Chains A and B, each alone.
Chain A
């Protein structure tokens, strides 16, 4: 579309990067921060796995283990599973709708720097005396106990992240609703955009509940209020309700964008519009709305009245229906397609099949009769690692590879990307599938040590081996992405031949994205691959 060539958006000095309001640079900064914390959290996971290799404590004390587990949980949830989508959203959303930037570029910069401030605080918790050992949930009254570490750190981190998320969410929602180029109608929006819209609405509705909960926690600890401390007349379950009112919907904040990425990639490489596109959008919103009605399943053994547990078990399992619709539609998108097995497609297909396992093992956790035995066991841990550790992470890496030519103007090494995928799939299935089994056998979660029950010991040994293979796979994938920015071949402008708007500008895009506002014709659609072919013929 642009005939004149510009310098790419990323050739800028350090000062320009720091003070930038360009959505693409901010997106890259989000991505780098997120990936860095993903690696820190990954290393702490490997430390945890080493400790669990054998019963007894070999490498670390209980306190060090508990800190590693807290770090792993908090960083993976907030920096990786939520944070990485800020990167994708910032970079791609304006490009996909044909805008030059987000609606409020300065607010966008503020969002990133609040995220950065939270990152600095998170790193400070590694200092002696500042370690937090209360898990990412931070349940009172334990979190009010000195054994938990400084709660203030945690509360401030959540506040900074919350402010960052809220500002970012408002920004992207407004951008999406008001700045779409002519011709990019609601009906012709990419599925990626629909899932980001729903995800940001969840953020706006949910974050205040968590912010309130940690504020009350902070006041209980330092200002002698008594919201949660039963010794002073408070109720610890109040915290759990507030916490999960946000923290359950947040899993859809994490997974909906992954669905968006999966939808983009699977359509592009099947060369056809998504099957049941309308029902996909309905399913996204169904998940977003139902997501707010299921939080009590995290509290099925907490002492809540039994009838509430039953009520929430129905709402919980019903969420499987819209999720199922999405999976069926993806599979039927393959039907009569012309499927290209490129690297992003392989990552995406893996993500779908792993998500299916994660989803199917989520259903019994919504059944109190089943949950009563596996709540807070390794079964739960395995379930959300199939969803977040695998489906989400594979979708994110699929996204990295898919938009890599867009981000960097270069191609990654196909061979290493595929080797990495094979290692990730072998390692994580060995790891997480056996985690299901040890969970079914009763292994409680958050245990630094465990009794030497024969089958548990064997299962833990194999899991640790799986985790090491997984770690090697991730390391290779990340190295490939990093090194290819220098060593990779120059990429074509539109290597996947997608008519989606972000591919109609040069790769990497110029700083201002579009020379002039694109007017998309009637017959254009982000999934109309024939339109693109016709364009080529006309040229």
Chain B
């Protein structure tokens, strides 16, 4: 196993850990004093029958306005820095066009090779349940080279869908009439899920595709198989 399974998931992981730490601290900062007050100042006959006068504390109020402001602005700025990386595909990334439709995906590679994945190609036809990604027929799988950044240009043929690459923790809507973009890189060969994340009707929950990550050489071989572009035809005849 490599240290980082996929990009840009590592950035997400970092911001997740920062947020989780801050959240737990804030929760305790609120929860523990609250429990202390609840116990200490509970109503007790003869001891604590009436509330004591408490002076407003401007200092305290300023404190709990300014500290949260600093914390959230820090978080937003950290996210800003990460987001730039998460959104900008590295140079030389492999460009794939993904076209979503009700209900399936079309993947088009730079040399014109196309792969189609339909909602029923990830499903056991008899039981109508999801197959394991390895069980899906290879002809419906979108091949992705290992250790290579992939830039996805996404659009849709009918309604809004959303392309979510499960291991890479990125998604972007596929909007008809627009081309949206995202990128990811997977560093470990294997079969991975990509899901539709925008509700699109009856088969929304089966609108998944399998990304088959393979070593670079194997990808090149696969890419050339069964491609009959007109240019190549010309070359062959010459």
Contact = CB atoms under 8 A, between A and B. Distances in A.
Interface in A283-336: 301-303, 306, 309-310, 313-314, 317-318, 320-321, 324-325, 327-328, 331-332, 334-336
Contacts of A450: 130, 205
B226 interface: no
Interface string A327-349: 11001101111111100000001
B16 A364 contact: yes
A55 B131 CA distance: 11
Interface stretch (A270-278, A387-395, A423-431): A270-278
Contacts of B198: 139, 376
B171 A373 contact: yes
Contact of A317 (B75, B173, B193): B75
Interface string B195-209: 111111111111010
Given A56-B128, A336-B54, A142 B41 contact: no
A149 to B, nearest CB: 10
A102 to B, nearest CB: 34
Contacts of B56: 275-276
A530 B51 CA distance: 10
Interface stretch (B64-72, B137-145, B215-223, B229-237): B64-72
B130 A451 contact: yes
Contact of B159 (A56, A142, A279, A313): A142
B159 to A, nearest CB: 4
Contacts of B128: 56-57
A235 interface: yes
A328 B64 contact: yes
B170 to A, nearest CB: 5
Interface residues of A, number: 87
B79 interface: yes
Counting contact residues on chain B (CB < 8 A from A), the size range is 35 or more
A62 interface: yes
B107 interface: no
A360 B23 contact: yes
B43 A369 contact: no
Interface string B115-156: 000000010000111101100000000000000000000000
Contacts of B69: 318, 321
Contact of A356 (B30, B54, B199): B30
Nearest to A368: B83
A147 interface: yes
A458 to B, nearest CB: 16
Interface centre among B80, B102, B198, B206 (most CB of A within 10 A): B198
Contact of B50 (A235, A271, A445): A271
Interface of B: 9, 11-12, 15-16, 19, 23, 26-27, 30-31, 33-34, 37-38, 41-43, 48-54, 56, 60-61, 64-65, 68-69, 72-73, 75-76, 78-80, 82-83, 86-87, 102, 122, 127-130, 132-133, 158-160, 162, 164, 166, 169-173, 175-178, 180, 193, 195-206, 208
Interface of A: 55-57, 62-63, 65-66, 133-135, 137, 139-142, 145, 147-148, 230-231, 235-237, 270-272, 275-276, 279, 301-303, 306, 309-310, 313-314, 317-318, 320-321, 324-325, 327-328, 331-332, 334-341, 349, 352-353, 356-357, 360-361, 363-364, 366-370, 372-373, 375-377, 440, 442, 444-452, 529-530
29 contacts: A57-B128, A62-B205, A66-B199, A148-B201, A230-B178, A272-B52, A279-B61, A279-B65, A301-B197, A303-B172, A310-B80, A318-B72, A324-B64, A331-B37, A334-B38, A334-B41, A336-B51, A338-B41, A338-B43, A360-B26, A360-B27, A367-B79, A369-B80, A370-B16, A370-B79, A372-B170, A375-B162, A451-B193, A530-B50
